[in-house]
Amino acid sequence: MFRKLLYGVLILGILFLAAGAAVGTWGYYYITRDLPQLSSIEDYRPPAVTRVLAADGTLVGEFYTERRYPVKISQVPPLIRNCFIASEDAAFYSHKGIDPLSILRATFKNLERGSARQGASTITQQVVKNLLLTSERSFKRKLKEAYLSYRIEQLFTKDEILELYLNQIFFGNTAYGIGAAAKLYFHKEVSQLTLAEGAILAGLPKAPSTYSPLASMQRAQRRQRYVLKQMVDANFITPEEAKAAENERIEVYPADMNKIFAAPYYVAEVRRLFLESPRWRSYNIDSDALEIHTALDITADRMAAEALRKGLKEADKRRGWRGAIANIPEANAKEFQSQFAASIPSVLETFTVYPALVTQVSKAHGTISVDIGNFTGTVPAKSTEWARKRLDSNDRAFYIQPMDAIKPGDIIEVSIKPRTPTNNAKDPAAPLRDPPTKIDSLADADFILDQTPEIEGSMVLLDPHTGRVPAAVGGYSYQRSVFNRVTQGLRQPGSAFKPVIYLAAVDGFGYTPSTIVYDRPRTFRVGDQYWTPQNFDKDYMGDITLRTALQHSRNLVSADIISRIGIEPVIKYAKLLGIQSKLGHNLSLSLGSSEVTMLEIARSYGVFAAKGVLFDSLFITKVIDRKGDVLFDAAQDPVSRAAQVIDENSAFIMANMMKGVVESGTGYTVKPINRPVAGKTGTSNDQMDAWFIGYTPEWVLGVWGGFDLKKTIGPKETGGRVSAPIWLYFMHDYLNLLDELNYAKLVEDTQAEAIRMGTEFVPPERLTPLDFSVPAGVEPFWINKSTGRLSDSGDPGAFYEYFVRDTEPNSGGESAEANTYLDSPEL
């Protein structure tokens, strides 16, 4: 009987074991059948910040979906690591992925409280949950989490797991990972964090919004004390160290959500180019932690933006004053501060426009008292004289006395002007304007009546010998409009397109600077259509040289040339120069009727400066991936981006003729720069677009002004009046700055050489600005300006002109090649 019972129990036990094994096998299969692959952790590449750097390495922008700066565990000080270990998982370095004691302790705590308030997830489990599983709350998910945690502990070291954790967790306010948290809250690298700061950060993952020091420093410090106590309990620090950390004064910074830190138009263009290029189609600029190096010169871009704003304000004021921007009854200061809070400064900056509440108008004293929140002052009547010309809502002008028109309660725009400017007009090296300066009182400055211009503009600076773009300013204000008028705005170039016509004539049809062309009224017939162009001044100069025609931008000459050489050759040369926009097949192309971008037209002028070579415009110079591998480096393959598109001799002939535009033509405004400059103005129909593209042997700068919704800028508002001054503002100061930097380097090198040779240091002479170099295939001759014939230095009308060898004038004053085309029939 006993034996039978024993056998029964044994069989029953075997059956139970078999059933248990079956259930265990099924359970194992059930839990592991759809587990994620651990290879996703082995190839861990979390979304991280892409950084955009200027040419000097300065950080100018970031792109991200999750603000994360991955750090190596070796970059995290042990004390900071221990803050997180003590806070989240004190037994981290001793358990195998799960901590049974913590689970039991949490279970008892939760039973005592009657709710599941305390968790027992280890750091390893949190890594699994964040990287491999969902946040679903279920028994099955917890089993998966435990199993995967055990597996991860077998595949990775503790330090590797901790590194994953510290880079993955969310710290609030867009900060993912400890690298971003250190930068965001404390403006520090992780290696610079103190114990007190580390304890603040270690308290955040539990509830980032609740314990954020930006939301409540009191709650953050309460959580900090908890972390420090845990560290004491774990013997990571002493009670004295904890107390010192509690008493440490912590400075936190407001969360900066701005992704662009300088040169906003430029940085936005870099993003656009990256997204649109097939080269980068497999990369995500918002998550792949790239490092994008650019050709940006931050100083040049800032100076260009300042020059553009100054010039646009001047043009806008010439149009007239648009009046007060608002009115607040009874000049209520509190109401003003409420309505214009975002525009009221804590510190004033010269040349910046601010809204101001008019509190009193005193004709007797000739002043307008204003209040701009933190500052009060007066606007002298003299500064309002420009506002006598008043514009209504339909741009109709009439004349007023500003002191009669401005009333208390009006909101007018003012700016701050220093009383004692530092520049000296007699000093050719002095800046044309003082740079913007921050001031905290009006002791040495005055308010002046001002207004934010409605007119827009753009500027681009190019290095024609490399294609690099150091500066690109796409509008008056990026905050007002993100549309980039350098690369996205299509506008009529007007006479700025004429150098393309002249190049086609010189390079392809034997014209020379002394070729006689005809500035006479005429009508052109094309099929059944008739076209009668006019010069801007409605006057005609008769028979003149090609040089004179370009200098004075004669429309009839350009139209005549294109009627003789044909439209297709002009389009061909435009494309050779890098103009890719669609050009119209009509005679009006000669007057710049087809729209192009600022970058295109500026790049085309760069070919003249670069001796006939065209480079691709280069914003992005290098791209590095998160591993440090170079994906692209423009410096490694510059030749492939360059092409000799026109003859070197023709490029020089054009540059030499375009110098005349500056010396005695429509670009005369920029002559005070006192260095070799070539260029061309441009004005479209009804003065809707104003251009000046000018270049030195080293740089090309293009400037455009106009309205986005096309309308006239104003009578006589030409490229020479609107854009050329802006060109001069920038290039005068920028080239002088470069000269000073180059001279300082020359002095340094000369001193070093003197020391090395044991000789006396003699300061070197200042460098002379470069002129356009004369190619071997070009020769000079004395030419009579009026007749174009050979002359000599004693002729009062003589001019030293350059010609491609064997194309100098014959006794009739014209090159033999040109005669054929001058006599060709009209279209």
Return the SS3 of 462.
strand
Beta strand spans in 489-595 (E): 516-519, 524-526, 529-531, 542-545
Long-range contacts of 331-335 (CB under 8 A, 24+ apart): 331/357, 331/358, 331/359, 331/408, 331/409, 332/409, 333/357, 333/359, 333/371
Residue 141 region by backbone torsions, left for phi larger than 0, else alpha for psi between -120 and 50, else beta: alpha
What does the block give as tokens for 812? Answer: 């009739």
C-alpha–C-alpha distance, residues 795 and 761, integer Å: 48
Catalytic residue among 369, 458, 495, 650: 495
C-alpha–C-alpha distance, residues 293 and 298, integer Å: 13
C-alpha–C-alpha distance, residues 308 and 705, integer Å: 9
Catalytic residue among 88, 291, 306, 717: 88
- Please list, residue by residue across 217-247, b when 16 or more beta carbons sit within 10 angstroms of its beta carbon and e when fewer do: eeebbebbebbbbbbbeeebbeeeebeebee
Is 83 in contact with 195 (CB distance < 8 Å)?
A: yes
Taking each helix axis as running N to C, give the angle between helix 2-32 and helix 139-155, from 0 to 180 degrees, rounded to the nearest 10.
80
Respond yes or no: is residue 88 known to be catalytic. yes
> Beta partners for 705?
457, 690
C-alpha–C-alpha distance, residues 817 and 823, integer Å: 11
| CA neighbours closer than 13 Å in the CB half-sphere of residue 111 | 6
- Alpha helices by DSSP H, listed for 390-542, are 402-405, 498-503, 509
* Of residues 352, 319, 364, the one with CA closest to residue 447: 352
C-alpha–C-alpha distance, residues 702 and 610, integer Å: 16
389-391 and 397-399 strand pairing: antiparallel
C-alpha–C-alpha distance, residues 46 and 176, integer Å: 10
User: Rg of the chain's alpha carbons, rounded to an integer?
Assistant: 36
Is 353 in contact with 450 (CB distance < 8 Å)?
A: yes
Taking each helix axis as running N to C, give the angle between helix 78-88 and helix 123-131, from 0 to 180 degrees, rounded to the nearest 10.
90
Is 554 in contact with 535 (CB distance < 8 Å)?
A: yes
Residue 628 region by backbone torsions, left for phi larger than 0, else alpha for psi between -120 and 50, else beta: left
What does the block give as tokens for 366? Answer: 């000739």
| CA neighbours closer than 13 Å in the CB half-sphere of residue 788 | 25
Q: What is the DSSP letter of 645?
A: -
* Of residues 170, 217, 224, 165, the one with CA closest to residue 197: 224
C-alpha–C-alpha distance, residues 520 and 788, integer Å: 18
What does the block give as tokens for 23? Answer: 């259930």
What does the block give as tokens for 508? Answer: 């392809």
Q: What is the H or E stretch that residue 725 is in?
A: helix 719-757
DSSP string, 94-140: TSSS--HHHHHHHHHHHHHHTS-------HHHHHHHHHTS-----HH
Return the SS3 of 161.
helix
C-alpha–C-alpha distance, residues 276 and 259, integer Å: 20
* Of residues 221, 206, 207, 227, the one with CA closest to residue 252: 221
C-alpha–C-alpha distance, residues 308 and 703, integer Å: 8
Respond yes or no: is residue 495 known to be catalytic. yes
Catalytic residues: 88, 495
